[in-house]
Structure 1
Amino acid sequence: MSTDNGWPALRVSDWEPTRDTLHMWTQIVGKVRLTHSPLLNHWWQVTFYVSPRGLTTSSIPYGDRVFDMEFDFVDHVLAIRTSDGGSATVALTAKPVAEFYTETLSALQSLGIEAGISARPNEVDPAIPFAEDHQHASYDPQAAQLFWRQLVQAHRVINEFRSHFIGKVSPVHFFWGSFDMACTRFSGRPAPAHPGGAPNCADWVMVEGYSHELSSCGFWPGGGEEGAFYAYAYPEPEGFAAYSVGPDAAFYSQDFKQFLLPYEAVRTAPDPDRAVLEFLQSSYAAAADLAGWDRASLEDDPRRWLDQR
Structure 2
Amino acid sequence: MSELSGANSTATWPQLRVADWTDTRETLHMWTQVVGKIRLAHAPLLNHWWQVTLYVSPRGLTTSAIPYSDHLFDIEFDFLAHRLVIRADNGDTRTVALAPKSVAQFYTETMQALDELGFETRIQGRPNEVEVSIPFAEDTQHASYDPTSAQAFWRQLVHANRLLNEFRSGYTGKTSPVHFYWGAMDLAYTRFSGRTAPEHGGGAPHCADWVMVEGYSHELSSCGFWPGGGEEGAFYAYSYPEPDGYSERRLQVPGATYDPNLGEFVLPYETVRTADDPNAVVAEFLHETYAAAAELGHWDRSTLECDPHRWAQQRAAAPWSLR
Map of 1:114-133 to 2, 5 A cutoff? 114-133=120-139
Following superposition, the deviation at residue 6 of structure 1 comes to 1.6
Q: Structure 2 residue aligned with 1:302, among 299, 303, 308? A: 308
TM-score (norm 2): 0.94
Following superposition, the deviation at residue 5 of structure 1 comes to 4.7
Percent identity (aligned): 66
Structure 1 unaligned spans of 5+:
none
Q: Which 4+ residue blocks in structure 1 deviate beyond 3 angstroms?
A: none
Following superposition, the deviation at residue 308 of structure 1 comes to 2.2
| CA contact 1:169–1:184 (8 Å) conserved in 2 | yes
Rounded Cα–Cα distance in structure 1 between residues aligned with 2:252 and 2:111: 46
Question: What does residue 266 of structure 1 align with?
Answer: 272
Q: Cα deviations across residues 256-278 of structure 1 (Å, max 9, x unaligned)? A: 01000000000000100000000
Rounded Cα–Cα distance in structure 2 between residues aligned with 1:283 and 1:217: 8
Following superposition, the deviation at residue 307 of structure 1 comes to 2.0
Q: Which amino acid aligns with 2:76?
A: E
TM-score (norm 1): 0.98
Q: Which amino acid aligns with 2:83?
A: V
CA RMSD of aligned residues (A): 1.0
Rounded Cα–Cα distance in structure 2 between residues aligned with 1:275 and 1:128: 39
Q: 1:63 to 1:5 in 2, by over 3 A?
A: closer
Question: What does residue 48 of structure 1 align with?
Answer: 54
Q: Cα deviations across residues 161-190 of structure 1 (Å, max 9, x unaligned)? A: 110011001010000011000000000000
Whether 1:112 aligns to 2:118 is: yes
Map of 1:8-47 to 2, 5 A cutoff? 8-47=14-53
Question: What does residue 143 of structure 2 align with?
Answer: 137
Q: Structure 2 residue aligned with 1:81, among 63, 87, 90? A: 87
Whether 1:64 aligns to 2:70 is: yes
Q: Structure 2 residue aligned with 1:204, among 173, 196, 210? A: 210
| CA contact 1:7–1:149 (8 Å) conserved in 2 | yes
Report the 3-state secondary structure (helix = DSSP H, G, I; strand = E; otherwise coil) of the residue aligned with 1:125.
coil
Following superposition, the deviation at residue 115 of structure 1 comes to 1.2
Q: Which amino acid aligns with 2:151?
A: Q
Q: Cα deviations across residues 98-148 of structure 1 (Å, max 9, x unaligned)? A: 000000000000000111000000000110000000000000000000000
Q: Cα deviations across residues 257-301 of structure 1 (Å, max 9, x unaligned)? A: 100000000000010000000000000011000000000000011
Rounded Cα–Cα distance in structure 2 between residues aligned with 1:69 and 1:237: 39
Structure 2 unaligned spans of 5+:
4-9, 316-323
